[in-house]
Amino acid sequence: MARDYVRDKEAVQDLNKELIRGEDFIRKQEGAAAKLLDTIGGINQALKASGDFSEKNKKQADLLAGAGQASLKFAQSKSKKDKESFDKIVQKYKVYKDLGGEQIKELDTLIKQTGEIDVQEGLLSRINISQDDITAALKDQVPFGKQLSTLFSKKAKGAAKVAAALTIGTTILKNFAAKTAVIGEEFGALGMQSGEFKSTLLSSEVDA
C-alpha cells in the first residue's frame, strides 16, 4: 500500500497552485504584507518537499496549508469574508491544541502576521478620505468653496457643474472690472489699457 505523504496532500498542492497564481501580486507587496507572504512561501516550500507521512504530520500539514491559502486570499482581497475563512482555520487549530495537539510554530507566526494585516487595514479604512469628503469640508472655508465642491463631486450632474464653473468665472470677471474701475478713478486711465497690467490683475483675482 502506497504511503500518503505530506507533499501529496490536496491542501498542500492547492496552496502551491494559489501561490503560483498570485505571483504578480506577491512581487508588488512590501512591509507587513511582504513579511506575511514570505512566511506563506516558506510554509509552502517546506510542505511540498516533505516526505513525512505520520497522521500527526499530515494533520498539521492540512492546518498549515489551509491557513496559508486563507491568509493569502485575505491579503489579496482584504474582505470580511476571507478574514472569516481564515478565522475558521484558526479555530480548528485551537481545537487541535485543546485535544492535545502540538503547537505549530509556523502557524502561530502566520496567525500573528495575518492579524497585523487586519489591524493595518482597519486603520487605513478609518483615515481614508474621499474626494467628496475633502470638497465638502472645504466648501465653506475657501472662496467659491460651494462651487468647487460641486465641480469635484462625483454625484453632481453635468448641468450643475457647468453652472458652478460659470459662477466662478463670472464672479472673477466682475471683481476684475470693479478693481480696474477703482484704480482708474484713483490714478486715471493712463496705462489702464496695458495688456500686462490687465493680465497681472486678472491673475491675482483668479489666485485669490
Provide the residue ranges of all domains of the chain, joining segments of one domain with +. Answer: 6-127, 132-207
Rounded to an integer, what distance in angstroms lies between the CA atom of residue 39 and that of residue 29?
13
Rounded percentage of the chain residues whose pLDDT exceeds 90: 52
Question: Between these two residues, 54 and 187, which has the higher pLDDT value?
Answer: 54
pLDDT value of residue 168: 63
Amino acid 190: pLDDT: 44
- What share of the chain in percent tops pLDDT 70? 59
* Grid cell digits, residue 199: 493680465
Tens of pLDDT along 115-161?
Answer: 998 888 777 666 555 555 555 555 555 455 565 566 556 565 666 66
pLDDT at 120: 81
Is the whole model's pTM more than 0.85, yes or no?
no
What mean pLDDT value characterizes the chain? 78
- Sign of the C-alpha dihedral computed for residues 187, 190, 191 and 193 taken in this order: positive
Low-confidence winner among 27-41, 81-95, 187-201 (lowest mean pLDDT): 187-201
- Residue 70 scores a pLDDT above 80: yes
